[in-house]
Amino acid sequence: MKNDEALSGFLRGTAATFRALAGRNDLEVGFVKGGRPGGYGEHVRLPMPKQAMPKDEVADLRGVADGWALKMRHHDAALHAKRMPETAEAQAVYDALETARVEAVGSRYFPGVRKNLREHAEQDCHAKNYHRVTSRDDAPFADAIGMLAREIFTGEKAPESAGPLIDQWRAHIEENAGADLTDLRDMVDDQDA
């Protein structure tokens, strides 16, 4: 019974935090076992942690929820679609930079959100085996530029597990887009910039 109460309280708190970060009290936040985050309109679905609430799952869920809530609040889907590049690789880079921008906004103002997003990024990079990357063939460019942009936009070193991924592309990105990323750092609050 104690675990049920703890889980229930955690889910209520996560849902309330999601609504607050998203700036939307009208959202109906639900949790799905084994599910991926999703939803439409005012219905939001987040992954359900195990009853025992392992620390890593709790931290990851908080990061997923915070990232998505920030996107709901600070991302204009119509503007994003209007400026979407044509090629798949360029679209992936564009999406990665937008995710870095949105998450940087929340990270700047909320230290707890910054911690949650960092933990989620660490776990996500580890799950994708980026800590084992030894060549560019295994290092998706979009993910590398997204992680490097996150580092520049927040002023916080990228997660340790992202290091080998970023190392494959850092010199190339800094040479070709470093100044642009630095300029964008000062405009993360403005998607239209």
On whether residue 61 sits in a domain, the answer given is no
What's the domain count of the chain?
Answer: 2
On whether residue 162 sits in a domain, the answer given is yes
8 A C-beta contact, residue 10 and residue 20: no
Examine the domain organization and report whether 82 and 43 are in the same domain.
no
What contacts 124, CB < 8 A, 6 or more positions away? none
Provide the domain limits for residue 33: 2-53
Q: How confident is the model at residue 1, as a pLDDT? A: 40
On whether residue 69 sits in a domain, the answer given is no
Examine the domain organization and report whether 91 and 45 are in the same domain.
no
Examine the domain organization and report whether 108 and 178 are in the same domain.
yes
How do the pLDDT tens digits run along the chain, 193 residues long? 467 788 899 999 999 999 999 999 999 999 998 777 888 789 999 988 877 778 888 888 999 999 999 999 999 999 999 999 999 999 999 999 999 999 999 999 999 999 999 999 999 999 999 999 999 999 999 999 999 999 999 999 999 999 999 999 999 999 999 999 999 999 999 998 8
Examine the domain organization and report whether 47 and 81 are in the same domain.
no
Examine the domain organization and report whether 174 and 94 are in the same domain.
yes
What contacts 75, CB < 8 A, 6 or more positions away? 98, 102, 191
Examine the domain organization and report whether 81 and 173 are in the same domain.
yes
On whether residue 6 sits in a domain, the answer given is yes
8 A C-beta contact, residue 102 and residue 54: no
On whether residue 94 sits in a domain, the answer given is yes
